[in-house]
């Protein structure tokens, strides 16, 4: 099931893209981004944003995220 950005729940795990290869745990929302913890072996770049260091930021709107069941 695809979850819209506005409905993401902190602590819940989601697939990061349609490949379903990488999973991230939703950590919260900033002013213009949403943040996930994808672990130390993530292929995504970590944000340098203050307070969100080490997390993956998504700024662009997308179709949503698929929850990991």
- C-alpha to C-alpha distance for 63 and 43, rounded to whole angstroms: 20
Work out the pLDDT band at 42, boundaries 50, 70, 90: very high
Model confidence at 62: pLDDT above 90 = no
By residue range, what is the domain housing residue 16?
Answer: 2-67
Work out the pLDDT band at 31, boundaries 50, 70, 90: confident
Work out the pLDDT band at 56, boundaries 50, 70, 90: very high
Torsion of CA 32, 59, 13, 38, to 10 degrees: -110
Averaged pLDDT for residues 65-69: 94
30 contacts 54 by C-beta, under 8 angstroms: no
Model confidence at 7: pLDDT above 80 = yes
pTM beyond 0.85: yes
Number of domains in the chain: 1
């Amino acid at each position: 099931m695809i979850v819209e950005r506005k409905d993401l729940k902190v602590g819940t795990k989601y697939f990061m893209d349609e490949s379903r290869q990488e999973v991230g745990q939703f950590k919260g929302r900033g002013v213009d981004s949403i943040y996930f913890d994808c672990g130390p072996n993530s292929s995504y770049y970590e944000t340098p944003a203050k307070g969100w260091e080490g997390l993956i930021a998504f700024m662009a709107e997308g179709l949503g995220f698929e929850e990991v069941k």
